[in-house]
Structure 1
């Protein structure tokens, strides 16, 4: 039976962007299925007493993160543009991701991340979201209309509450079938190997 992991990610998160670029190929190599689960990390930060990302609160940590992002993007052959402001408002992107069918969620999410971190476009802009939906091949009006329903708004709240219940404190986080948590882009291989039962 194929193993499955939950890929919890936040659209405003730099390391979620990197993980989104890498996870599909790494999972395919290991025959692991991936469920893409967007959530709102800001709500969890607030519960921890943070008003913004620790990368802004602690400038030394922020400088390190952006330099690390430069190294990673160079390795992956991706341009890097710092979004302004950072972090971006990810509410609409997360709602649309949940409104889309699961098989369109990965393509949409990667398109949003690239618009944000490769092109510096604001992901709260409806035009950016519309471009990302079009790249999935899904019907734009259907996705946008669904994202505005109480059902999807409630679903996003429930996903964020579930992330908090599981003990997530950052993004990306991979949760394996047996409940192990692996936090960070640099833990992808370890998480997927664990899911497959490899040492």
Structure 2
């Protein structure tokens, strides 16, 4: 059985963008499958007494993050542009990603959303932007939008967020393995993949 990691991501997360744009190629080289799992950081931040991203709470940290993402993106040959409003409201995008999973297109749609947010600096809470993302992923926008409002989809996103909290996840991206090991940050992706391979049964 192929080893697997769970990719926990939040659409408002700059570092999740870096991982989303490379995780499938990197995981394929390691012969590890990826389970894409969107969740919301807002409730987790609120449980820590934060009303916004720590990158906004601590301006020096925020300035460093922008520079760090810019350097890393340039080194990987991908564009980076901070959106005017940060953090974005990723609720609709997260629900659409879960809806897209039913069509096997959650990864493609999620990459499109991250590219819209952090390669183009667009507002991913905007319906027109999300429509373009759905279309680019080969999905029928109206069908996906209707499905995303289904109670089952809303419940799944809530369950994902609750599961993330139960696992002790405090930021995105995070990666978990079937044995319960947790890795936080884009710079831990390779370590997570190595761990998953070494600990895979059989």
Deviation at 1:80, TM superposition (A): 1.4
2:86 pairs with 1:86: yes
* Residues in 2 aligned to 1:151 and 1:97: alpha-carbon distance in whole angstroms: 13
* Residues in 1 aligned to 2:165 and 2:138: alpha-carbon distance in whole angstroms: 32
Report SS of the residue matched to 1:78.
coil
Match of 2:129 in 1: 128
User: Where in structure 2 are there 5+ consecutive unaligned residues?
Assistant: none
Report SS of the residue matched to 1:8.
strand
Match of 1:52 in 2: 52
TM-score (norm: length of structure 1): 0.97
TM-score (norm: length of structure 2): 0.95
Deviation at 1:73, TM superposition (A): 1.0
* Residues in 2 aligned to 1:182 and 1:153: alpha-carbon distance in whole angstroms: 26
Match of 1:66 in 2: 66
Match of 2:113 in 1: 112
Match of 2:43 in 1: 43
Match of 1:20 in 2: 20
* Residues in 2 aligned to 1:109 and 1:47: alpha-carbon distance in whole angstroms: 26
* Residues in 1 aligned to 2:52 and 2:16: alpha-carbon distance in whole angstroms: 17
Query: How many residues were matched structurally?
Result: 198
Match of 2:140 in 1: 139
Deviation at 1:154, TM superposition (A): 1.3
Deviation at 1:188, TM superposition (A): 0.4
* Residues in 1 aligned to 2:171 and 2:49: alpha-carbon distance in whole angstroms: 14
Deviation at 1:86, TM superposition (A): 0.5
Deviation at 1:101, TM superposition (A): 2.3
CA displacement, residues 26-77 of structure 1 (integer Å, 9 cap, x when unaligned): 1001110000000001110001111111111011111111110110110121
Report SS of the residue matched to 1:197.
helix
User: Where in structure 1 are there 5+ consecutive unaligned residues?
Assistant: none
Structure 1's consecutive aligned runs of 4 or more residues displaced over 2 angstroms after TM superposition are: none
CA RMSD of aligned residues (A): 1.0
* Residues in 2 aligned to 1:61 and 1:121: alpha-carbon distance in whole angstroms: 22
